[in-house]
Structure 1
């Protein structure tokens, strides 16, 4: 019996070299797996961001349904303030809408947004309406705020976009609306392109959300990095 035990013990012994070889193999396999896992994790966060944009789209549609089809006006009382009046899960009072929302709302924070914020981050901006190259959906002047029923190409007209930049804070008029030149020369440097360089998620006026490159949003009209004129692109709500 003793001899049998000794035989078994001898058969399960490993040399130091064998152990080191196994450890090295595990390390090599891990080095292959880490980029794959990192990419999968990033992709899952992008999907969460898309889902949040769709939820914001639903809130905008609900707001428009109660306001003659107009999207939220955005000035000192921002578009997210107005959605906070019972459309996005919050129930802000008029005084709260006129001030700065005192807590973070996760719906407005993209999981990939690592931009430092002075107060409570808002990762998204609506497209900027107004004179000249401001061909988007909303701004502070009620005369330029767009009605959803007026949009001729809702599946290819951007209503809201990722804008993870410093000072884009919930309930403030800083970076609340953006146009193409703000994207070709963004705040925040490289950290702005958290989805990949030149890429971000966009909410369309039909309620769909898509991950696109900035070049794709220009529909072949021009190269945005050379000419950011939004006319006849997905940024043009009047086309």
Structure 2
């Protein structure tokens, strides 16, 4: 009985076919991976948002105030965790404040998610009061346009806040990581509790700090 063997040409054809199939599958696998990462991010945002809303219910409808300093515990996400509204990992190992597409951080005052500056550090001119530890200029977490007002979203680098003046290319698509890091979209939670996304082009229009996206 003669045993059939593959010729060199046949082997090369098989290898070529496998290569073609792999090249067709890899983009789909990469897209599926990015979709899964975006889903994990949305889940993180949902849990953080729920904690923020419960905190606000217990604190006259205000989100945690924040300071620029890293030498105190007065950062919005640390306040949530220190006061027991959300589990906190002091070593920042796979914490809920870490986006799968975000920047790895080593300090517990950093976060991949950014709070609406109008809720935790805003002033009455649309700027950021970097030393705010009071509520003089802050917006409360309720309003007539709760489905439009952002609470928290993907931030750039490891900054804990995002401002209307950050809606520019340098923050949205050029920073490392950028805001629109989920296939040119950013995950966002809103005052009514839902989590959605906005595209890079949509975010570019969110520059007025008085519009409902920023101010309840």
Fold-level match, TM-score > 0.5? yes
Deviation at 1:73, TM superposition (A): 1.6
- 1:210 is aligned to 196
Q: Distance in 1 between matches of 2:127 and 2:199?
A: 20
Q: Distance in 2 between matches of 1:68 and 1:43?
A: 37
Deviation at 1:116, TM superposition (A): 5.2
Structure showing greater Rg: 1
Q: Point out where structure 1 has 5 or more consecutive residues left out of the alignment.
A: 1-5, 91-100, 169-174
Tell me whether 1:15 sits opposite 2:13 in the alignment: no
1:123 pairs with one of 95, 112, 129: 112
Deviation at 1:217, TM superposition (A): 5.1
Per the normalisation by structure 2, the TM-score is 0.81
- 2:33 is aligned to 41
Higher-helix-fraction structure: 1
Q: Distance in 2 between matches of 1:180 and 1:214?
A: 14
Contact 2:112–2:156 (8 Å) recurs in 1: yes
Deviation at 1:211, TM superposition (A): 1.4
Deviation at 1:81, TM superposition (A): 1.6
Q: Distance in 2 between matches of 1:52 and 1:208?
A: 12
For residues 25-64 of structure 1, what are the structure 2 equivalents within 5 Å? 25-64=17-56
Contact 2:101–2:177 (8 Å) recurs in 1: no
Contact 2:66–2:76 (8 Å) recurs in 1: yes
Q: Distance in 1 between matches of 2:21 and 2:28?
A: 11
CA pair 49-80 structure 1, distance change in 2 beyond 3 A: same
Once the two structures are superposed, what CA deviation does each residue of 1:118-160 show, in whole Å capped at 9, x if it has no partner? 535410111112121249xxx53312233223x1111110011
User: Secondary structure in 2 aligned to 1:108?
Assistant: coil
| Number of residue pairs aligned between Structure 1 and Structure 2 | 198
Contact 1:217–1:235 (8 Å) recurs in 2: no
Per the normalisation by structure 1, the TM-score is 0.74
Q: Distance in 2 between matches of 1:83 and 1:214?
A: 29
CA pair 190-88 structure 1, distance change in 2 beyond 3 A: closer
Tell me whether 1:81 sits opposite 2:78 in the alignment: yes
